[in-house]
């Protein structure tokens, strides 16, 4: 009788790596026990509930079907969990704007507070664990963990086929990330369009204004992380007009383009703005940024005005784009 392909492949692997992986699995299972959410983070959520809250707070797509696929959850179990969150005032459920057959899940203000608390306590717990690791070994440990994820996750090369969505993490900025936004915007736009330091100054002022004074419930920054490094960013901030938010500083690193990262960043910004009650989302860009304009169109933005100007050392055509969100006033 012919053996199944998986069994035949498994038998071709030598004993040593199998034993090493089993030993690592036992070690890691015990380690994860030390990070148990309900016991050590002092929160009333199970690990699965915490994972769902994390995905809702960080993922660009928040349809129930996307959550189920991303977390490998049973449909009935996820439905019951979301119903519990809805009763507790943590989420709101509504038909998806893009496809009414799908259910869009968004965090309420209370849900965002819960997710932020989980994130904060998780960082503290992991930070306490890493504090026991000698400083000289932390970079080596991080590199080893990235290697495990890359190899067992199919490898970085596979995830980078053009046109395929990347397994990217959208997260809040950590120490140094706001400076990274300024530096990479300046470097990328200088290299690709010849913009001078006037643009770097503009980005620095935008980022400084956010860092010094922003409302965390109505304004947010996302960092797109791929393979353990930042590869993109976007901001959602209040505009001068009541009930209006502004999308700013969308950027994707040149070597990470074509993977849908820009779409995920803009989707996160749109969902956040809609979820907190803005009526409109606006942005200003320039006509030379063709790829970005294509992303904005796909998400429903429409061009409302354009005007020639000279900025950043070059002649440009500035454009104002608008997306009506039909939410309650922010």
- Please name the helix (run of DSSP H) or strand (run of DSSP E) that holds residue 252, with its range, or none: strand 244-252
* Residue 239 shares a structural domain with residue 312: yes
Domain membership of residue 242 (yes or no) is yes
- Please name the helix (run of DSSP H) or strand (run of DSSP E) that holds residue 322, with its range, or none: strand 314-324
pLDDT digits (tens, 9 = 90+) for 146-170: 778 767 765 444 444 444 555 788 9
What backbone torsions phi and psi does residue 229 show, to the nearest 5 degrees?
Answer: -135, 150
* Residue 196 shares a structural domain with residue 317: yes
Q: How many folded domains does the chain comprise?
A: 2
pLDDT digits (tens, 9 = 90+) for 189-206: 999 999 999 999 999 999
**What's the token pair of residue 119?**
């994130």
* Residue 199 shares a structural domain with residue 317: yes
Domain membership of residue 148 (yes or no) is no
* Residue 189 shares a structural domain with residue 316: yes
User: Which residue among 132, 153, 180 closes a domain?
Assistant: 132
130 contact partners, CB below 8 Å, separation of at least 6 = 138, 141
133 contact partners, CB below 8 Å, separation of at least 6 = 141
* Residue 215 shares a structural domain with residue 316: yes
In the predicted structure, residue 64 carries a pLDDT above the cut 90: no
User: Beta-carbon neighbour count of residue 298 at 10 Å?
Assistant: 12
Domain membership of residue 221 (yes or no) is yes
Looking at residue 205, what DSSP letter applies?
Answer: H
For residue 100, what pLDDT is reported? 78
Which range has highest mean pLDDT (33-42, 47-56, 75-84)? 75-84
pLDDT digits (tens, 9 = 90+) for 108-151: 999 989 888 888 877 787 788 888 888 888 878 877 887 787 67
* Residue 37 shares a structural domain with residue 119: yes
User: Beta-carbon neighbour count of residue 133 at 10 Å?
Assistant: 11
CA atoms within 13 A on the CB side of 35: 19
pLDDT digits (tens, 9 = 90+) for 223-265: 999 878 899 999 999 999 899 999 999 999 998 888 899 999 9
CATH number of the domain to which 26 belongs: 1.10.10.10
Domain membership of residue 157 (yes or no) is no
> pLDDT category, 61, cuts 50, 70, 90?
low
* Residue 185 shares a structural domain with residue 301: yes
For residue 3, what pLDDT is reported? 57
pLDDT digits (tens, 9 = 90+) for 266-306: 999 999 999 999 999 999 999 999 999 999 999 999 999 99
* Residue 127 shares a structural domain with residue 196: no
For residue 329, what pLDDT is reported? 40
For residue 190, what pLDDT is reported? 94
How open is the CA angle 325-326-328, to the nearest 5 degrees?
Answer: 110
Centroid of chain to Cα 317: 30
User: Beta-carbon neighbour count of residue 252 at 10 Å?
Assistant: 27
Q: Do 222 and 170 touch, CB atoms closer than 8 A?
A: yes
* Residue 128 shares a structural domain with residue 171: no
Parent domain of 189: 163-324
* Residue 212 shares a structural domain with residue 286: yes
For residue 41, what pLDDT is reported? 54
CATH number of the domain to which 307 belongs: 3.40.630.30
CA–CA gap between residue 105 and residue 96 (Å, rounded): 8
**Mean pLDDT, residues 208-221:** 94
């Amino acid at each position: 009788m012919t053996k199944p392909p998986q069994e035949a492949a498994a038998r071709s692997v030598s004993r040593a790596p199998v034993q090493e992986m089993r030993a690592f699995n036992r070690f890691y299972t015990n380690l994860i026990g030390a990070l148990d959410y309900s016991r050590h983070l002092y929160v009333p959520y199970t690990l699965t509930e915490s994972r769902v809250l994390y995905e809702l707070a960080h993922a660009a797509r928040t349809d129930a079907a996307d959550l189920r696929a991303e977390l490998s959850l049973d449909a009935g179990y996820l439905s019951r969990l979301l119903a519990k969150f809805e009763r507790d005032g943590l989420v709101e459920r509504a038909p998806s704007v893009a496809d009414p057959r799908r259910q869009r899940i968004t965090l309420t203000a209370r849900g965002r507070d819960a997710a932020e608390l989980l994130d904060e306590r998780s960082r503290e717990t992991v930070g306490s664990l890493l504090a026991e690791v000698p400083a000289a070994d932390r970079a080596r440990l991080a590199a080893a963990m990235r290697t495990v994820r890359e190899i067992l996750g199919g490898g970085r090369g596979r995830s980078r086929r053009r046109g395929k969505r990347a397994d990217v993490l959208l997260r809040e900025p950590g120490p140094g990330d706001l400076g990274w936004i300024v530096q990479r915007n300046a470097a990328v736009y200088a290299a690709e369009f010849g913009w001078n330091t006037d643009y770097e100054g503009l980005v620095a002022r935008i980022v400084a204004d956010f860092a010094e004074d922003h409302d965390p419930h109505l304004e947010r920054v996302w960092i797109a992380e791929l393979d353990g490094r930042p590869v993109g960013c976007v901001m959602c901030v209040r505009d001068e007009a009541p009930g209006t938010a502004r999308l700013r500083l969308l950027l994707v690193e040149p070597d990470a383009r074509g993977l849908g990262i820009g779409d995920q960043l803009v989707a996160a910004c749109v969902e956040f703005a809609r979820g907190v009650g803005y009526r409109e989302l606006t942005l200003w860009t320039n006509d030379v940024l063709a790829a970005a304009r294509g992303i904005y169109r796909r998400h429903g933005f429409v061009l409302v005005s354009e005007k020639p100007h000279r900025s950043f050392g070059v002649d440009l055509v500035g454009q104002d784009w608008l997306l009506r969100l039909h939410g309650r006033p922010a």
